[in-house]
Amino acid sequence: MELQVLTFPTAPYPDQRPGASGLRKKVYVFQSKKNYLHNFIQSIFSSIDLPDRQGATLVVGGDGRFFNRTAIGVLVQMAAANGIGRLIIGHHGMMSTPAVSCVIRKYKAIGGIILTASHNPGGPNGDFGIKFNTASGGPAREEVTSKIYQLSRIIEEFAICPGLRVDLKTLGKQAFDLENKFKPFTVEIVDPVESYANLLRNIFDFAALKELLSGENHINIRLDAMHGVLGLYVKRILCEELGCPANSAINCVPLEDFGGQPPDPNLMFATDLVDSMRDGQYDFGAAFDGDGDRSMILGKHGFFVTPSDSVAVVADNIFCIPYFQHTGVRGFARSMPTSTALDRVAKATKIELHETPTGWRFFGNLMDAGMLSLCGEESFATGGDHIREKDGLWAVLAWLSIIATRRQSVEDILKDHWLKYGRNYFTRYDYENVDIDAACDMMEDLEILISDKSFVKQRFAVEDKIYQVEKADNFEYTDPLDSTITRNQGLRIIFSDGSRIVYRLGGTGAEGATVRIYIDSHERKLLFEETQVMLAPLATIALKISQLHHRTGRNGPSLIT
Protein backbone atom coordinates (compact mmCIF):
# COMPACT_ATOMS: atom_id res chain seq x y z
CA MET A 1 0.00 0.00 0.00
CA GLU A 2 1.33 3.43 -0.94
CA LEU A 3 1.84 5.71 2.03
CA GLN A 4 0.30 9.16 2.03
CA VAL A 5 2.36 12.34 2.14
CA LEU A 6 0.48 15.04 4.03
CA THR A 7 1.04 18.73 4.73
CA PHE A 8 0.00 20.29 8.04
CA PRO A 9 -0.22 23.99 8.96
CA THR A 10 2.01 25.24 11.77
CA ALA A 11 3.13 28.45 13.44
CA PRO A 12 6.75 29.57 13.89
CA TYR A 13 8.72 29.84 17.13
CA PRO A 14 11.17 32.72 17.65
CA ASP A 15 13.81 30.72 19.56
CA GLN A 16 15.03 28.10 17.07
CA ARG A 17 18.41 29.66 16.32
CA PRO A 18 20.96 26.84 16.05
CA GLY A 19 24.43 27.47 17.40
CA ALA A 20 27.68 25.78 16.42
CA SER A 21 26.40 22.66 18.21
CA GLY A 22 22.89 22.75 16.75
CA LEU A 23 19.64 23.51 18.57
CA ARG A 24 19.64 22.51 22.24
CA LYS A 25 16.67 22.84 24.55
CA LYS A 26 15.19 21.10 27.55
CA VAL A 27 13.37 17.90 26.62
CA TYR A 28 10.06 19.36 27.81
CA VAL A 29 10.34 22.12 25.18
CA PHE A 30 10.31 19.54 22.38
CA GLN A 31 7.58 17.56 24.12
CA SER A 32 5.22 20.32 25.18
CA LYS A 33 5.39 22.92 22.39
CA LYS A 34 3.18 21.92 19.49
CA ASN A 35 5.20 20.98 16.39
CA TYR A 36 8.40 22.38 17.90
CA LEU A 37 10.40 19.38 16.67
CA HIS A 38 8.58 19.24 13.34
CA ASN A 39 9.21 22.94 12.67
CA PHE A 40 12.95 22.67 13.15
CA ILE A 41 13.30 19.48 11.09
CA GLN A 42 11.28 21.05 8.28
CA SER A 43 13.48 24.13 8.42
CA ILE A 44 16.57 21.93 7.99
CA PHE A 45 15.06 20.19 4.95
CA SER A 46 13.82 23.48 3.47
CA SER A 47 17.33 24.92 3.76
CA ILE A 48 18.48 22.31 1.20
CA ASP A 49 17.42 23.14 -2.36
CA LEU A 50 14.80 20.67 -3.62
CA PRO A 51 16.92 19.36 -6.55
CA ASP A 52 19.76 18.65 -4.10
CA ARG A 53 17.66 16.69 -1.64
CA GLN A 54 15.52 14.86 -4.21
CA GLY A 55 16.55 11.20 -3.97
CA ALA A 56 19.61 12.09 -1.88
CA THR A 57 21.19 10.14 0.99
CA LEU A 58 21.12 11.47 4.57
CA VAL A 59 22.80 9.95 7.64
CA VAL A 60 21.07 9.88 11.04
CA GLY A 61 22.51 9.00 14.44
CA GLY A 62 22.22 9.90 18.09
CA ASP A 63 23.83 9.46 21.49
CA GLY A 64 21.00 7.33 22.90
CA ARG A 65 19.60 10.00 25.21
CA PHE A 66 15.94 10.27 26.18
CA PHE A 67 13.67 11.37 23.28
CA ASN A 68 16.12 10.12 20.62
CA ARG A 69 13.88 7.34 19.30
CA THR A 70 10.79 9.56 19.28
CA ALA A 71 12.65 12.24 17.34
CA ILE A 72 14.05 9.71 14.85
CA GLY A 73 10.52 8.42 14.19
CA VAL A 74 9.39 11.94 13.24
CA LEU A 75 12.56 12.65 11.30
CA VAL A 76 12.14 9.53 9.14
CA GLN A 77 8.54 10.43 8.32
CA MET A 78 9.51 13.99 7.37
CA ALA A 79 12.59 12.95 5.37
CA ALA A 80 10.40 10.73 3.19
CA ALA A 81 7.86 13.53 2.68
CA ASN A 82 10.59 16.03 1.77
CA GLY A 83 12.08 14.01 -1.07
CA ILE A 84 15.06 12.35 0.63
CA GLY A 85 15.69 9.06 -1.17
CA ARG A 86 17.67 7.10 1.42
CA LEU A 87 18.37 7.34 5.13
CA ILE A 88 21.33 5.57 6.74
CA ILE A 89 20.58 5.18 10.46
CA GLY A 90 22.68 3.64 13.21
CA HIS A 91 21.33 0.46 14.83
CA HIS A 92 18.77 1.41 17.53
CA GLY A 93 19.17 5.00 16.32
CA MET A 94 22.66 5.28 17.83
CA MET A 95 25.84 6.48 16.17
CA SER A 96 28.63 8.62 17.60
CA THR A 97 29.19 12.10 16.19
CA PRO A 98 32.62 11.13 14.74
CA ALA A 99 31.07 8.04 13.15
CA VAL A 100 28.28 10.11 11.57
CA SER A 101 30.93 12.36 10.02
CA CYS A 102 32.77 9.28 8.76
CA VAL A 103 29.63 7.70 7.25
CA ILE A 104 28.56 10.98 5.56
CA ARG A 105 31.92 11.10 3.81
CA LYS A 106 32.02 7.40 2.99
CA TYR A 107 28.61 7.34 1.29
CA LYS A 108 28.84 10.87 -0.18
CA ALA A 109 25.62 11.85 1.58
CA ILE A 110 24.25 15.39 1.39
CA GLY A 111 24.66 15.57 5.16
CA GLY A 112 23.58 14.12 8.44
CA ILE A 113 21.33 14.88 11.39
CA ILE A 114 22.78 14.12 14.81
CA LEU A 115 20.45 13.86 17.78
CA THR A 116 22.60 14.84 20.74
CA ALA A 117 23.17 17.46 23.40
CA SER A 118 26.76 16.21 23.79
CA HIS A 119 27.93 16.50 27.41
CA ASN A 120 24.66 18.05 28.68
CA PRO A 121 22.43 16.07 31.10
CA GLY A 122 19.99 13.51 29.69
CA GLY A 123 16.72 11.95 30.82
CA PRO A 124 13.18 13.39 30.85
CA ASN A 125 14.36 16.44 32.83
CA GLY A 126 17.55 16.85 30.81
CA ASP A 127 18.47 18.35 27.47
CA PHE A 128 17.92 17.34 23.87
CA GLY A 129 19.58 18.60 20.71
CA ILE A 130 19.44 18.42 16.91
CA LYS A 131 22.49 19.23 14.81
CA PHE A 132 22.85 19.35 11.03
CA ASN A 133 26.16 18.39 9.40
CA THR A 134 26.77 19.08 5.72
CA ALA A 135 28.26 16.95 2.93
CA SER A 136 31.82 17.49 4.18
CA GLY A 137 30.84 15.62 7.34
CA GLY A 138 31.32 18.73 9.47
CA PRO A 139 28.97 21.08 11.33
CA ALA A 140 26.97 23.42 9.12
CA ARG A 141 28.61 26.77 8.44
CA GLU A 142 27.05 29.93 9.77
CA GLU A 143 25.34 30.83 6.50
CA VAL A 144 23.53 27.46 6.63
CA THR A 145 22.50 27.72 10.28
CA SER A 146 21.35 31.31 9.66
CA LYS A 147 19.21 30.11 6.75
CA ILE A 148 17.68 27.38 8.93
CA TYR A 149 16.90 29.97 11.61
CA GLN A 150 15.32 32.39 9.13
CA LEU A 151 13.15 29.62 7.71
CA SER A 152 12.07 28.61 11.23
CA ARG A 153 10.79 32.16 11.81
CA ILE A 154 8.48 32.16 8.78
CA ILE A 155 7.43 28.51 8.57
CA GLU A 156 3.75 27.97 7.77
CA GLU A 157 3.55 24.23 7.11
CA PHE A 158 5.48 20.99 7.26
CA ALA A 159 5.36 17.81 5.16
CA ILE A 160 5.18 14.39 6.77
CA CYS A 161 4.34 10.79 5.98
CA PRO A 162 2.55 9.83 9.24
CA GLY A 163 1.88 6.21 8.28
CA LEU A 164 5.57 5.36 7.86
CA ARG A 165 7.02 3.24 10.64
CA VAL A 166 10.68 2.21 10.67
CA ASP A 167 12.19 -0.69 12.62
CA LEU A 168 15.40 0.58 14.26
CA LYS A 169 16.16 -2.82 15.85
CA THR A 170 16.76 -4.81 12.65
CA LEU A 171 19.91 -4.37 10.55
CA GLY A 172 19.37 -4.09 6.80
CA LYS A 173 17.28 -2.22 4.25
CA GLN A 174 13.61 -1.30 4.55
CA ALA A 175 11.74 0.06 1.52
CA PHE A 176 8.54 2.14 1.54
CA ASP A 177 6.29 3.06 -1.39
CA LEU A 178 4.98 6.61 -1.21
CA GLU A 179 2.13 8.04 -3.24
CA ASN A 180 3.22 10.00 -6.34
CA LYS A 181 6.82 8.77 -5.95
CA PHE A 182 8.45 6.69 -8.69
CA LYS A 183 11.14 5.19 -6.47
CA PRO A 184 10.68 3.66 -3.03
CA PHE A 185 12.01 5.54 -0.01
CA THR A 186 14.65 3.38 1.65
CA VAL A 187 15.98 3.23 5.19
CA GLU A 188 19.18 1.33 5.87
CA ILE A 189 19.87 0.36 9.48
CA VAL A 190 23.63 -0.08 9.81
CA ASP A 191 26.19 -1.26 12.34
CA PRO A 192 27.22 2.11 13.88
CA VAL A 193 30.78 0.96 14.60
CA GLU A 194 32.16 -0.83 11.53
CA SER A 195 32.74 2.01 9.02
CA TYR A 196 34.34 4.17 11.69
CA ALA A 197 36.46 1.29 13.03
CA ASN A 198 37.71 0.60 9.52
CA LEU A 199 38.75 4.23 9.19
CA LEU A 200 40.73 4.01 12.44
CA ARG A 201 42.46 0.83 11.21
CA ASN A 202 43.83 2.87 8.32
CA ILE A 203 45.12 5.62 10.62
CA PHE A 204 46.74 3.77 13.52
CA ASP A 205 49.00 0.72 13.81
CA PHE A 206 46.49 -1.68 15.37
CA ALA A 207 49.12 -4.41 15.71
CA ALA A 208 51.33 -2.14 17.83
CA LEU A 209 48.34 -0.99 19.88
CA LYS A 210 47.26 -4.58 20.47
CA GLU A 211 50.77 -5.44 21.70
CA LEU A 212 50.67 -2.40 24.03
CA LEU A 213 47.26 -3.30 25.44
CA SER A 214 47.35 -7.09 25.55
CA GLY A 215 50.92 -8.23 24.82
CA GLU A 216 53.44 -9.66 27.25
CA ASN A 217 54.45 -6.25 28.67
CA HIS A 218 51.04 -4.65 28.32
CA ILE A 219 49.89 -1.56 30.18
CA ASN A 220 46.67 -1.49 32.20
CA ILE A 221 44.06 0.99 31.08
CA ARG A 222 40.68 2.18 32.33
CA LEU A 223 38.04 3.56 29.94
CA ASP A 224 34.80 5.22 31.04
CA ALA A 225 32.11 5.71 28.37
CA MET A 226 29.88 7.52 30.93
CA HIS A 227 26.86 5.56 29.63
CA GLY A 228 27.04 7.39 26.30
CA VAL A 229 27.08 5.99 22.79
CA LEU A 230 30.84 5.43 22.80
CA GLY A 231 30.39 2.39 25.02
CA LEU A 232 29.57 0.47 21.82
CA TYR A 233 32.85 1.57 20.24
CA VAL A 234 35.03 1.00 23.32
CA LYS A 235 33.78 -2.57 23.68
CA ARG A 236 34.18 -3.43 19.98
CA ILE A 237 37.46 -1.64 19.18
CA LEU A 238 39.43 -1.49 22.44
CA CYS A 239 38.24 -4.70 24.08
CA GLU A 240 37.28 -7.14 21.31
CA GLU A 241 39.80 -6.03 18.68
CA LEU A 242 42.76 -4.61 20.62
CA GLY A 243 42.51 -7.03 23.52
CA CYS A 244 41.77 -4.87 26.55
CA PRO A 245 40.16 -6.92 29.34
CA ALA A 246 36.39 -6.49 29.36
CA ASN A 247 36.50 -5.17 32.94
CA SER A 248 38.84 -2.33 31.92
CA ALA A 249 35.86 -0.63 30.24
CA ILE A 250 33.19 0.79 32.55
CA ASN A 251 29.79 2.45 32.07
CA CYS A 252 29.63 1.11 28.50
CA VAL A 253 25.88 0.46 28.34
CA PRO A 254 24.21 3.54 26.79
CA LEU A 255 21.45 4.88 29.04
CA GLU A 256 18.81 7.49 28.25
CA ASP A 257 19.79 9.50 31.34
CA PHE A 258 23.52 8.56 31.30
CA GLY A 259 23.12 7.04 34.73
CA GLY A 260 21.95 10.31 36.30
CA GLN A 261 25.18 12.26 35.68
CA PRO A 262 26.01 14.63 32.82
CA PRO A 263 28.20 12.69 30.35
CA ASP A 264 30.88 15.35 30.68
CA PRO A 265 34.47 14.01 30.68
CA ASN A 266 36.11 16.21 33.29
CA LEU A 267 37.38 15.82 36.83
CA MET A 268 34.07 16.87 38.35
CA PHE A 269 31.74 14.45 36.55
CA ALA A 270 33.91 11.49 35.50
CA THR A 271 34.20 10.46 39.14
CA ASP A 272 34.07 6.69 38.47
CA LEU A 273 37.20 6.98 36.36
CA VAL A 274 38.97 9.46 38.64
CA ASP A 275 38.34 7.30 41.74
CA SER A 276 39.52 4.10 40.04
CA MET A 277 42.77 5.72 38.85
CA ARG A 278 43.93 6.93 42.27
CA ASP A 279 45.54 3.75 43.61
CA GLY A 280 47.93 3.35 40.66
CA GLN A 281 46.41 0.12 39.36
CA TYR A 282 45.97 1.65 35.89
CA ASP A 283 48.63 3.29 33.72
CA PHE A 284 46.24 5.16 31.45
CA GLY A 285 42.66 6.35 31.78
CA ALA A 286 40.14 8.08 29.55
CA ALA A 287 36.52 9.23 29.79
CA PHE A 288 34.22 10.10 26.88
CA ASP A 289 31.20 12.37 26.54
CA GLY A 290 27.69 11.41 25.47
CA ASP A 291 28.17 11.50 21.69
CA GLY A 292 31.84 10.45 21.68
CA ASP A 293 33.52 13.54 20.30
CA ARG A 294 35.35 14.57 23.49
CA SER A 295 37.64 12.75 25.88
CA MET A 296 39.68 13.35 29.02
CA ILE A 297 43.14 11.79 29.40
CA LEU A 298 44.56 10.67 32.76
CA GLY A 299 47.86 9.05 33.70
CA LYS A 300 48.75 6.80 36.62
CA HIS A 301 47.38 7.93 40.01
CA GLY A 302 44.95 10.20 38.13
CA PHE A 303 47.63 12.48 36.64
CA PHE A 304 45.51 15.00 34.69
CA VAL A 305 46.37 16.11 31.15
CA THR A 306 44.71 19.40 30.22
CA PRO A 307 43.08 19.37 26.77
CA SER A 308 45.40 22.23 25.73
CA ASP A 309 48.47 20.19 26.70
CA SER A 310 46.99 17.08 25.11
CA VAL A 311 46.79 18.53 21.59
CA ALA A 312 50.29 20.02 22.00
CA VAL A 313 51.76 16.64 22.99
CA VAL A 314 50.04 14.91 20.07
CA ALA A 315 51.41 17.61 17.74
CA ASP A 316 54.95 17.16 19.04
CA ASN A 317 54.71 13.37 18.58
CA ILE A 318 52.53 13.37 15.49
CA PHE A 319 54.68 10.94 13.50
CA CYS A 320 53.98 8.22 16.07
CA ILE A 321 50.70 7.95 14.10
CA PRO A 322 51.24 6.13 10.76
CA TYR A 323 48.58 8.20 8.98
CA PHE A 324 50.70 11.35 9.30
CA GLN A 325 53.82 9.52 8.14
CA HIS A 326 51.99 9.07 4.83
CA THR A 327 50.11 12.38 4.53
CA GLY A 328 52.59 14.77 6.13
CA VAL A 329 51.43 17.64 8.34
CA ARG A 330 49.70 20.57 6.67
CA GLY A 331 49.02 22.76 9.69
CA PHE A 332 47.96 22.99 13.33
CA ALA A 333 45.04 24.94 14.79
CA ARG A 334 43.45 25.77 18.11
CA SER A 335 40.44 27.79 19.18
CA MET A 336 41.30 31.23 20.51
CA PRO A 337 40.52 30.48 24.21
CA THR A 338 42.69 27.33 24.17
CA SER A 339 46.14 27.77 25.76
CA THR A 340 49.12 28.70 23.60
CA ALA A 341 50.93 25.39 24.30
CA LEU A 342 50.28 24.29 20.70
CA ASP A 343 51.78 27.55 19.38
CA ARG A 344 55.17 26.64 20.82
CA VAL A 345 55.19 23.26 19.08
CA ALA A 346 54.15 24.88 15.79
CA LYS A 347 56.96 27.44 16.09
CA ALA A 348 59.59 24.79 16.88
CA THR A 349 58.49 22.49 14.05
CA LYS A 350 57.93 25.37 11.58
CA ILE A 351 54.36 24.22 10.94
CA GLU A 352 51.76 26.92 10.37
CA LEU A 353 49.38 27.58 13.26
CA HIS A 354 45.82 28.89 12.87
CA GLU A 355 43.94 30.56 15.73
CA THR A 356 40.20 30.31 15.12
CA PRO A 357 36.94 31.12 16.91
CA THR A 358 35.38 28.39 19.01
CA GLY A 359 33.47 25.94 16.80
CA TRP A 360 34.71 22.95 14.83
CA ARG A 361 33.36 24.29 11.53
CA PHE A 362 36.27 26.75 11.35
CA PHE A 363 38.71 23.84 11.53
CA GLY A 364 36.69 21.97 8.90
CA ASN A 365 37.04 24.81 6.39
CA LEU A 366 40.83 24.75 6.79
CA MET A 367 40.89 20.95 6.45
CA ASP A 368 38.80 21.08 3.28
CA ALA A 369 41.36 23.50 1.84
CA GLY A 370 44.26 21.17 2.71
CA MET A 371 45.68 23.62 5.27
CA LEU A 372 45.15 21.69 8.51
CA SER A 373 45.99 18.24 9.90
CA LEU A 374 45.57 18.47 13.70
CA CYS A 375 43.51 20.75 15.90
CA GLY A 376 42.03 21.07 19.37
CA GLU A 377 39.91 23.06 21.77
CA GLU A 378 40.20 23.51 25.52
CA SER A 379 36.80 21.84 25.93
CA PHE A 380 38.32 18.31 25.85
CA ALA A 381 38.19 18.21 22.05
CA THR A 382 40.95 17.03 19.73
CA GLY A 383 40.84 15.75 16.17
CA GLY A 384 42.55 15.24 12.85
CA ASP A 385 41.62 15.68 9.21
CA HIS A 386 40.34 12.09 8.83
CA ILE A 387 36.80 13.41 9.47
CA ARG A 388 35.32 16.87 10.05
CA GLU A 389 34.40 16.48 13.71
CA LYS A 390 36.29 16.33 16.97
CA ASP A 391 36.95 12.75 17.91
CA GLY A 392 37.32 11.45 21.46
CA LEU A 393 38.39 7.90 20.61
CA TRP A 394 40.85 9.10 17.96
CA ALA A 395 42.52 11.27 20.64
CA VAL A 396 42.83 8.25 22.97
CA LEU A 397 44.35 6.08 20.23
CA ALA A 398 46.74 8.94 19.39
CA TRP A 399 47.96 8.98 23.01
CA LEU A 400 48.26 5.19 23.11
CA SER A 401 50.28 5.34 19.87
CA ILE A 402 52.68 7.80 21.50
CA ILE A 403 53.00 5.56 24.58
CA ALA A 404 53.59 2.51 22.35
CA THR A 405 56.38 4.34 20.50
CA ARG A 406 58.07 6.09 23.43
CA ARG A 407 57.44 3.45 26.10
CA GLN A 408 57.00 6.15 28.74
CA SER A 409 54.19 6.91 31.15
CA VAL A 410 51.68 9.69 30.51
CA GLU A 411 53.26 11.74 33.29
CA ASP A 412 56.81 11.33 31.96
CA ILE A 413 55.74 12.22 28.42
CA LEU A 414 54.10 15.42 29.67
CA LYS A 415 56.97 16.38 31.95
CA ASP A 416 59.41 15.91 29.08
CA HIS A 417 57.16 18.17 27.02
CA TRP A 418 57.24 20.86 29.72
CA LEU A 419 61.05 20.62 29.95
CA LYS A 420 61.24 21.18 26.21
CA TYR A 421 58.64 23.93 25.78
CA GLY A 422 57.82 25.27 29.24
CA ARG A 423 54.44 24.77 30.87
CA ASN A 424 51.13 26.51 30.14
CA TYR A 425 48.96 26.74 33.24
CA PHE A 426 45.36 26.93 32.05
CA THR A 427 41.91 26.99 33.63
CA ARG A 428 38.34 27.83 32.71
CA TYR A 429 35.60 29.10 35.02
CA ASP A 430 31.99 28.51 33.92
CA TYR A 431 29.14 30.55 35.35
CA GLU A 432 26.06 28.69 34.07
CA ASN A 433 22.40 29.70 33.73
CA VAL A 434 23.17 33.38 34.25
CA ASP A 435 20.42 35.88 33.43
CA ILE A 436 20.94 36.63 29.73
CA ASP A 437 20.39 40.40 30.04
CA ALA A 438 22.79 40.68 32.97
CA ALA A 439 25.44 38.66 31.12
CA CYS A 440 25.11 40.71 27.92
CA ASP A 441 25.20 44.01 29.80
CA MET A 442 28.36 42.92 31.64
CA MET A 443 30.08 41.90 28.40
CA GLU A 444 29.11 45.17 26.68
CA ASP A 445 30.49 47.29 29.53
CA LEU A 446 33.62 45.14 29.68
CA GLU A 447 34.23 45.66 25.97
CA ILE A 448 33.88 49.42 26.36
CA LEU A 449 36.38 49.34 29.24
CA ILE A 450 39.09 47.33 27.47
CA SER A 451 38.60 49.15 24.13
CA ASP A 452 39.59 52.47 25.69
CA LYS A 453 43.11 53.39 24.60
CA SER A 454 44.08 54.09 28.22
CA PHE A 455 43.47 50.44 29.14
CA VAL A 456 46.58 49.29 27.27
CA LYS A 457 49.73 49.67 29.43
CA GLN A 458 47.63 49.60 32.61
CA ARG A 459 49.25 47.64 35.43
CA PHE A 460 47.53 45.27 37.83
CA ALA A 461 49.28 44.18 41.01
CA VAL A 462 48.29 41.13 43.07
CA GLU A 463 50.61 40.19 45.94
CA ASP A 464 54.13 40.21 44.45
CA LYS A 465 52.94 39.84 40.84
CA ILE A 466 52.56 42.77 38.45
CA TYR A 467 50.83 42.34 35.08
CA GLN A 468 50.91 45.03 32.38
CA VAL A 469 48.31 45.03 29.61
CA GLU A 470 49.92 44.76 26.17
CA LYS A 471 46.82 44.20 24.05
CA ALA A 472 43.05 44.07 24.55
CA ASP A 473 40.38 43.44 21.95
CA ASN A 474 37.25 41.59 20.87
CA PHE A 475 38.66 38.69 18.87
CA GLU A 476 37.75 38.53 15.22
CA TYR A 477 38.78 35.97 12.63
CA THR A 478 39.44 36.49 8.95
CA ASP A 479 39.00 33.26 7.02
CA PRO A 480 42.19 32.71 4.99
CA LEU A 481 40.17 31.10 2.18
CA ASP A 482 37.37 33.57 1.42
CA SER A 483 38.34 36.54 3.64
CA THR A 484 35.00 36.47 5.47
CA ILE A 485 35.28 38.07 8.91
CA THR A 486 33.75 36.49 12.03
CA ARG A 487 33.46 39.12 14.75
CA ASN A 488 32.67 39.24 18.48
CA GLN A 489 34.33 35.93 19.35
CA GLY A 490 35.54 36.77 22.85
CA LEU A 491 37.15 39.59 24.81
CA ARG A 492 40.91 39.15 25.19
CA ILE A 493 43.32 40.79 27.57
CA ILE A 494 46.93 39.88 26.77
CA PHE A 495 49.67 40.88 29.20
CA SER A 496 53.31 41.67 28.45
CA ASP A 497 54.48 38.27 29.76
CA GLY A 498 52.09 36.45 27.37
CA SER A 499 49.49 35.65 30.04
CA ARG A 500 45.91 35.93 28.83
CA ILE A 501 42.44 36.46 30.23
CA VAL A 502 39.53 35.68 27.88
CA TYR A 503 35.81 36.29 28.47
CA ARG A 504 33.12 34.60 26.36
CA LEU A 505 29.41 33.92 26.43
CA GLY A 506 29.05 30.17 25.85
CA GLY A 507 26.40 28.65 23.64
CA THR A 508 26.00 24.95 24.45
CA GLY A 509 23.57 25.18 27.36
CA ALA A 510 19.82 24.67 27.03
CA GLU A 511 18.74 27.69 29.07
CA GLY A 512 20.17 30.95 30.37
CA ALA A 513 23.63 32.23 29.47
CA THR A 514 26.99 30.70 30.35
CA VAL A 515 29.75 33.20 31.08
CA ARG A 516 33.21 31.70 30.67
CA ILE A 517 36.52 33.07 31.87
CA TYR A 518 39.68 31.46 30.49
CA ILE A 519 43.08 32.07 32.08
CA ASP A 520 46.36 31.05 30.45
CA SER A 521 49.91 31.65 31.69
CA HIS A 522 53.21 30.25 30.43
CA GLU A 523 56.14 29.39 32.71
CA ARG A 524 59.49 28.67 31.09
CA LYS A 525 60.86 27.19 34.30
CA LEU A 526 59.47 23.76 35.15
CA LEU A 527 57.31 24.18 38.24
CA PHE A 528 54.95 21.69 39.83
CA GLU A 529 52.58 24.11 41.54
CA GLU A 530 48.84 23.50 41.51
CA THR A 531 47.14 25.21 38.57
CA GLN A 532 44.66 27.17 40.68
CA VAL A 533 47.47 28.41 42.94
CA MET A 534 49.58 29.55 39.98
CA LEU A 535 46.65 31.31 38.31
CA ALA A 536 45.10 32.86 41.45
CA PRO A 537 46.56 36.36 40.79
CA LEU A 538 45.20 36.41 37.22
CA ALA A 539 41.82 35.08 38.43
CA THR A 540 41.65 37.94 40.93
CA ILE A 541 42.39 40.44 38.14
CA ALA A 542 39.81 38.83 35.84
CA LEU A 543 37.06 39.17 38.45
CA LYS A 544 38.10 42.69 39.39
CA ILE A 545 38.05 43.96 35.81
CA SER A 546 34.72 42.33 34.93
CA GLN A 547 32.99 42.77 38.33
CA LEU A 548 31.39 39.46 37.40
CA HIS A 549 30.22 38.47 40.87
CA HIS A 550 28.50 41.82 41.38
CA ARG A 551 27.04 42.01 37.85
CA THR A 552 25.64 38.44 37.76
CA GLY A 553 24.85 37.85 41.41
CA ARG A 554 27.10 34.78 41.40
CA ASN A 555 29.63 34.26 44.18
CA GLY A 556 31.53 31.51 42.38
CA PRO A 557 31.66 29.41 39.20
CA SER A 558 29.41 26.41 38.57
CA LEU A 559 32.34 24.50 37.09
CA ILE A 560 36.12 24.81 37.05
CA THR A 561 38.12 22.90 34.42
Q: Does residue 412 surpass a pLDDT of 60? A: yes
Closest CA to 360 of 426, 404, 306, 294: 294
Residues 458, 461, 462, 467, CA torsion sign: positive
| Catalytic residue list contains 118 | yes
pLDDT digits (tens, 9 = 90+) for 269-317: 999 999 999 999 999 999 999 999 999 999 999 999 999 999 999 999 9
pLDDT digits (tens, 9 = 90+) for 2-58: 899 999 999 999 999 998 789 999 999 999 999 999 999 999 999 999 999 999 999
Catalytic residue among 43, 118, 339, 546, which? 118
Instruction: Output the pLDDT for position 558.
Output: 78
CB 403 within 8 A of CB 206: no
Q: Can you give the C-alpha Rg of the chain in angstroms?
A: 24
CA distance linking residue 400 with residue 507, whole number of Å: 32
pLDDT digits (tens, 9 = 90+) for 376-399: 999 999 999 999 999 999 999 999
- Every domain of the chain and the residues it spans: 6-191, 196-421, 423-560
Q: Does residue 423 surpass a pLDDT of 80? A: yes
pLDDT digits (tens, 9 = 90+) for 458-509: 999 998 889 999 999 999 999 998 888 989 999 999 999 999 999 999 765 5
Helix (H) or strand (E) holding 254: none
Least confidently predicted of 143-147, 175-179, 234-238, 431-435: 431-435
Quick one: what percent of the chain has pLDDT higher than 90? 88
| Burial of 193 per CB tally in 10 Å (0-12, 13-18, 19+) | buried
Complete edge-to-edge strand list for the sheet that includes strand 332-335: 353-356, 332-335, 374-377, 381-384
Quick one: what percent of the chain has pLDDT higher than 70? 99
Q: Does residue 180 surpass a pLDDT of 80? A: no
Q: Do domains 6-191 and 196-421 have the same CATH topology?
A: yes
Instruction: Output the pLDDT for position 508.
Output: 52
Average pLDDT, the chain: 95
Tally the C-alpha atoms within 13 A of residue 94's C-alpha that lie toward its C-beta: 23
- Confidence at 552, pLDDT banded by 50, 70, 90: confident
CA distance linking residue 289 with residue 266, whole number of Å: 9
List b or e across 313-336, with b for residues whose CB sees 16 or more CB atoms inside 10 angstroms: bbbbbbebbebbeeeebbbbbbbb
pLDDT digits (tens, 9 = 90+) for 127-179: 999 999 999 999 999 899 999 999 999 999 999 999 999 999 999 999 999 98
423-560, superfamily in CATH?
Alpha-D-phosphohexomutase, C-terminal domain (3.30.310.50)
Query: SS3 of 329, please?
Result: coil
The one-letter amino acid at 191: D
CA distance linking residue 155 with residue 79, whole number of Å: 17
The one-letter amino acid at 359: G
Asked if the 196-421 domain carries CATH number 3.40.120.10, the reply is: yes
Query: Domain 6-191 adopts which CATH fold?
Result: Alpha-D-Glucose-1,6-Bisphosphate; Chain A, domain 3 (3.40.120)
